[in-house]
Amino acid sequence: MLNTRQLSIPTFVLTKKGRTMSRIFITGAADGLGQMAAKLLIAGGHRVVLHARSDQRAEEALSAAPGAETAVSADLSSIQETIELAEKVNKLGHFDAIIHNAGIGYQERHRDNSIDGLPPLFAVNSLAPYILTSLIQLPERLIYLSSGLHREGSPSLEDLTWDNKRWNGYQAYSDTKLHDVLLAFTVARHFPQIYSNALEPGWVATKMGGAGAPDSLADAPKTQVWLAVSNDEKALVTGKYFYHQKRREYHPAAGNVTIQKGFLAACEQISGVKFPKGNNLK
């Protein structure tokens, strides 16, 4: 179990006189890094709405993060439930930031099928952030959790749903984490008035990362929180990739406009959800 009680609250999280309290929505906040980020934000005086995959998990998330505004549920492996989640979130009103934290790991040894016949890895890690980004009223800040493994992701966009390729969970996971960076950079290009960034939290001892993960668990939620609420000029940027609040090298394909467009087109075809029109469509 993650022990977040001993986490120190970074000064950039704390609301102070003359500084506006932020309202943040976090996907996958029932446990792990999503819950840790939520606790930091709540302790800092911000308003937080949690997401979990079921009603029961939503109740557990609220119990684990006292002070959260509310929690909403949806199974992100389902296209319809993800669309309905966007509707629920929009009914709650405007958010200053959204942290796309939800994700599943690469332990799947076989290509399983979601209710829509998709690999859950792709449905949750790639398609759900696309759908939510497209349908939720755009906030001022968008944060997408990726992984260092995105550098091993394939930019080919061929057979994204692994219908014809031999299943490889490690490669499928790496691909989805590249997709998250592609999406972050696409939003930054289409909506330059929004701060849209991606990050890697490090390989840490969460349920996904495993007990032997070597990176700092205490530091793992801080970058996404920093990007969500900090007024540090280093955080007020867009189309960047971070690790522990510092810019880091990313897969060169993530900035390729042709690949970005291809990813959007594929997600639209699979989900039936159109990406919103921005004011910079070059």
Residues belonging to the active site: 173, 177
Instruction: Report the C-alpha gap between 19 and 26 in whole angstroms.
Output: 21
Strands of 78-220 (E only): list them. 97-100, 141-145, 195-199
73: nearest Cα among 40, 103, 51: 51
CA-based R_g, the chain, Å: 17
Instruction: Report the C-alpha gap between 272 and 118 in whole angstroms.
Output: 14
Neighbouring CB atoms inside 10 A of 21's CB total 12
Instruction: Report the C-alpha gap between 177 and 179 in whole angstroms.
Output: 5
Neighbouring CB atoms inside 10 A of 228's CB total 29
Helix axes 79-91, 128-135, angle to 10 degrees: 30
116: nearest Cα among 107, 104, 128, 106: 128
Q: What order do you get walking across the sheet with 97-100 strand by strand?
A: 70-73, 47-52, 23-26, 97-100, 141-145, 195-199, 241-243, 246-247
